[in-house]
């Protein structure tokens, strides 16, 4: 009883199932959802064509320009913008797509609804009532956007699965004491957030992030295996006063399909300087280890 009470009082919430019950600002990993929305809405057809995005693109209803953390974002293509994670390009795309279409795409991936695995997962959030400025910020994983790690794993899995999102479940089968199978869970399609053609464009961009961009530490360098990913460093606390969250989402794909999709969040990077906290630096190596273990287990 004493141990239970101590756990209940622990501010770090060690009993909390963070994968299902905690929601976090996703930061730049959400940009893959915005990219999907832009492709589905026809706002981008060629992922390597320049976008009409000035460096200092103004946030709607604000005098503030959108800040980028890397150079080369002016008129960057969608492919290049994902590779170097340009805020301006994706905020403008979210504004071009519009709030309602952004909401529609996010909800096709599972946002704004609880998931049951059968354990209940908290609903991830994309604001359905945001003004233009709020929607632009939401499109880069800021403002009110919040997600469970499960939700971002679902996004990644759907992209790797050529646009088809499968219903998540924890238990493969339930057996009686004599080992008779009482219940067998079967794969079940949940939705088709993006077309196969657009999913393959997203895969090409995510694989470029790992091969040539911020996600290089997740590259398995295994023959016949392609790895796609996206880094994210999400603000935390009022005026970003707390240590940021480090995100990485990824999948590994072989000629037999994609057996693994991963979402990693490092909530409190103890012992690491604030300026060294990044999804590519901290979360990507964890994702790499998980993907490698899954591929090895499959022979």
Structure tokens at 50: 């320049």
What radius of gyration, in Å, describes the C-alpha atoms of the chain? 19
Q: What is the mean pLDDT of residues 81-96?
A: 97
- What domains appear along the chain, each with residue ranges and CATH number? 16-297 (3.40.710.10)
What is 204-252 written as a DSSP string? HHHHHHHHHSTTGGG----TT-EEEEEEEEE--SGGG-SPPEEEEEEEE
Q: What is the mean pLDDT of residues 123-137?
A: 97
Q: Please, what is the end-to-end C-alpha distance for the chain in angstroms?
A: 45
Q: What is the pLDDT of residues 45-85, one digit of tens each?
A: 999 999 999 998 999 999 989 999 889 999 999 999 999 99
State which H helix or E strand residue 272 sits in. none
Phi, psi of 163 (to 5 degrees): 95, -5
Among the listed residues 28, 85, 124, 139, the single catalytic one is 28
pTM, 2 dp:
0.93
pLDDT of residue 298: 82
Q: Which residues contact 9 (CB under 8 A, 6 or more apart)?
A: none
Is 28 annotated in the active site? yes
Q: Which residues contact 172 (CB under 8 A, 6 or more apart)?
A: 184, 185
pLDDT higher than threshold 60 for residue 241? no
Q: 216: how many CB neighbours lie within 10 A of its CB?
A: 15
74 contacts 50 by C-beta, under 8 angstroms: no
pLDDT of residue 116: 93
Alpha-helical runs (H) found in the chain: 2-9, 18-21, 31-40, 78-84, 87-97, 99-109, 132-138, 149-160, 196-212, 284-297
pLDDT higher than threshold 60 for residue 274? no
Residue 13's pLDDT band, with cuts at 50, 70 and 90, is confident
pLDDT higher than threshold 80 for residue 278? no
Q: What is the pLDDT of residues 178-222, one digit of tens each?
A: 999 999 999 999 999 999 999 999 999 999 999 999 999 999 999
Q: What is the pLDDT of residues 169-189, one digit of tens each?
A: 999 999 999 999 999 999 999
Q: What is the mean pLDDT of residues 259-272?
A: 84
33 contacts 145 by C-beta, under 8 angstroms: no
39: nearest Cα among 29, 47, 31, 30? 47
pLDDT of residue 273: 53
């Amino acid at each position: 009883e004493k141990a239970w009470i101590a756990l209940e009082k622990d501010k770090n919430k060690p009993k909390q199932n963070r994968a299902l019950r905690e929601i976090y600002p996703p930061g730049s990993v959400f940009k893959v959802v915005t990219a999907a929305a832009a492709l589905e809405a026809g706002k981008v057809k060629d992922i390597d064509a320049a976008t009409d995005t000035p460096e200092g693109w103004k946030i709607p209803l604000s005098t503030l320009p959108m800040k980028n953390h890397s150079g080369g974002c002016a008129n960057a293509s969608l492919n290049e913008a994902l590779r170097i994670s340009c805020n301006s390009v994706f905020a403008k795309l979210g504004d071009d797509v519009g709030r309602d279409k952004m909401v529609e795409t996010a909800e096709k991936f599972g946002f704004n609804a609880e998931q049951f695995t059968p354990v209940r997962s908290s609903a991830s959030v994309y604001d359905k009532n945001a003004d233009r400025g709020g929607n632009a910020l939401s499109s880069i994983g800021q403002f009110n956007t919040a997600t469970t790690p499960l939700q971002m794993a679902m996004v990644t899995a759907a992209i790797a699965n050529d646009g088809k999102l499968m219903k998540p479940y924890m238990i493969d089968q339930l057996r009686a004491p004599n080992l008779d199978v009482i219940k067998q869970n079967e794969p079940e399609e949940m939705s088709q957030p993006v077309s196969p053609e657009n999913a393959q464009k997203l895969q090409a961009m995510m694989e470029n992030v790992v091969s040539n961009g911020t996600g290089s530490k997740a590259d398995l360098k295994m023959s016949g295996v392609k790895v796609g990913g996206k880094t994210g460093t999400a603000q935390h606390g009022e005026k970003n006063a707390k240590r940021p969250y480090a995100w990485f989402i990824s999948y590994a794909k072989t000629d037999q399909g994609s057996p693994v999709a991963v979402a990693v969040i490092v909530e409190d990077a103890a012992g690491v300087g604030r300026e060294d906290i990044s999804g590519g630096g901290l979360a990507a190596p964890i994702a790499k280890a998980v993907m490698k273990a899954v591929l090895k287990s499959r022979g």
